[in-house]
Structure 1
Amino acid sequence: MSIDNGNSGLQGEEMVPEDWAGDMGLKWLASLSLFEEMIAPIGDALLARADYQSGETVIDLGCGGGATTLTIAETVAPAGNVLGVDISPDLVAAAKERAETDGAENIDFICADAATVQLADAPYDRLFSRFGSMFFEDPVSAFSHLHGLLRNGGRIDLAVWGPPRDNLWMMEMMGVVRNHVEVPPAVPRAPGPFAFEDLVYLGEIMDGSGFTDMEVVAYEGLQPVGGAGATPEKAVEFALASLAFGRLLSDKGESIVKKASNDLADIFARHHVPGQGVMMPGKAWLVSAVA
């Protein structure tokens, strides 16, 4: 295993369980362009690292609204093709509509749990996932299944969040929440956004599921919270409607929500860059391994 610029250790706060097949999928869809703008730089870095070639067949795991799927389809055309897989029927429907509008012909989408999905066209050459691989209840079983969908020597490329302490956009929000409500401590290595912050743990999963030659590089940059160009007020609206910040406060009463929102607006104002948005540091691991 090769790792550049790595550190691990601090666990994030307990996240509300993610119902990606239902409520979370709808929340993502409702703020689709804002989510995509926030994580697009990381997706671009992962795509550059994957370096897809014409003629390759690719699975895009946790494809969401299909932005990365469309980019991959264009890259592997005309002979290659890409399949987007997501557990949210709402996001899959939006991705299909997007591909039809775009006119992409070498692309398809299915709604399925990637941990168990059966694909008639397997094995594929490559597997790609931008933040879609950290939520498996049994990651070794899930990644073993994904290993079986790739040809011998095929490659997996993943973007996963690095340690919470290196993701100020999340830590600042959780700090505000902790000032107003009690937040249970995290369960180490539990499914969630920061499940793979510990690269030793991720290496154990890859080894246990049959992948070899894991390599990791760190991506560090500024995340536009609430989308490119968002004001501090718009970023707060985004956090309340779409992120764990809002879910943790949702049943605490209007007074608590208002106080926490004001605190967060102050933080976002300090990170606001006119013309760019609320720019806060983030860190992700870009991971590759061989089947």
Structure 2
Amino acid sequence: MTDAPHHHADALKYEDWAGEMGARWLANLTGFESTIAPAGEALLAHAAYRPGERVVDIGFGGGATSLAIAKAVAPEGEVVGIDISPDLAAATTRRAAGAGIANARFICDDAATVAVPELPFDRLCSRFGSMFFSEPVPAFANLRGLLKAGGRLDLAVWGPPQQNPWMLEGMAVARRHVEMPAPVPRAPGPFAFEERDYMEETLVAAGFSNVHIVAARGELPVGGPGATPEQAQAFVRHALAFGQALLDYPPEVQEAAAAELTTLYTKYYRPSEGVMMGYAIWLVSANA
């Protein structure tokens, strides 16, 4: 195994959504959005937004959830999206304009500290945008301040890694080829809230009540619907954090990992659907 460059081991301890991660999401937007679409649809079905509601969407990524909510709350309702990535805020503003959606706007700011003038909102949504706070209790307390009394929070967060083979199995391949830091429980990252009790404790400490957490499980298409095993491994290596770790290594290491990933994804490939692998999320709701 090649010695890991020290800088990348440090970089993997957090995900820089204001810079590298946001830019990477944008560069791989179609793959990201179409891969996690089943999970986003589960969140929207659970939240059941209605016409006239004012909704703030945290960590909106490419904007798919925000724009779907904007359609659901139209014509009188509105969506304000907040994301720490300037690249994503600019791109999603263009995307909304191109889709003719006038009741959504997008702000580049840190959700942990943001102050939005048009308070309060009826609802708060986040599809995988709430697991990266360095200090989650103050961050969620700030978010609670965006809601009217009794206003509802709805989150989707990833469940335990063991129940998310679409991420876990690819990470295991990467670890066989390169040095990667061991995961730290409850640290900011995709699995920060894999423990339901910790999720509930965090929200209660931030002042929320009526915390309700249910599991949603299913399959998602790695790299998007119809992606071949080769396309799935290319997406993972260029888009996901564990794939990015491979880029600091010599070409022969990257090629060996790519070949092993292709073999992995071939096991899950269905020609009519793509590389279908299991996921599990927590759908979290609470009241301000």
TM-score (norm 1): 0.93
Residue 244 of structure 1 deviates from its aligned partner by: 1.9
Tell me the alpha carbon deviations over residues 51-72 of structure 1, each in whole angstroms, 9 at most, x when there is no partner.
Answer: 1111110001111121111111
Aligned to 2:279: 282
Residues 109-148 of structure 1 deviation map (CA, whole Å, 9 limit, x = unaligned): 1111001111110110000010000000000010000001
Structure 2 residue corresponding to 1:183, chosen from 180, 184, 201: 180
| Matched residue, 2:65 | 68
Inter-partner Cα distance in structure 2 for 1:276 and 1:15: 32
Does 1:262 pair with 2:259? yes
Letter in 2 for 1:113: D
CA contact (8 A) 2:54 2:79 kept: yes
Tell me the CA shift for residue 273 of structure 1: 0.7
Provide the residue aligned with 2:18 in structure 1. Answer: 21
SS of the residue corresponding to residue 248 of structure 2 reads coil
State the Cα distance separating 1:16 from its structure 2 match: 4.6
Instruction: Write the distance in 2 (CA, Å) between the matches of 1:40 and 1:226.
Output: 11
Select between 145-154 and 238-247 the one with higher mean Cα deviation: 238-247
Aligned to 2:246: 249
CA displacement 1:241-272 (0-9 Å, x = unmatched): 11122222121211111111111100000101
Of 187, 191, 196 in structure 1, the residue corresponding to residue 193 of structure 2 is: 196
Distance 1:235 1:16 in 2: 25
**Structure 1 partner of 2:228:** 231
Secondary structure of the residue aligned to 1:84 is strand
Q: Is the 8 A contact 1:15 1:186 kept in 2?
A: no
Partner residue, 2:4: none
Q: Determine the C-alpha separation between the residues in 1 that align with 2:78 and 2:176.
A: 49
- Written as runs of structure 1 = structure 2, the 5 A alignment for 1:1-291 is 15-291=12-288
Given the two structures, how large is their TM-score scaled by the length of structure 2?
0.94
For the aligned residues, what is the CA RMSD?
Answer: 1.2
Q: Note the residue ranges of structure 2 that are not aligned, 5 or more in a row.
A: 1-10
User: Residues 189-225 of structure 1: CA distance to partner in whole angstroms, max 9, x if unpaired?
Assistant: 0000000001111111011000011111111111111
How many percent of aligned residue pairs carry the same amino acid? 55
Residue aligned with 2:101, SS: coil
Contact 2:59–2:127 (Cα < 8 Å) also in 1: yes
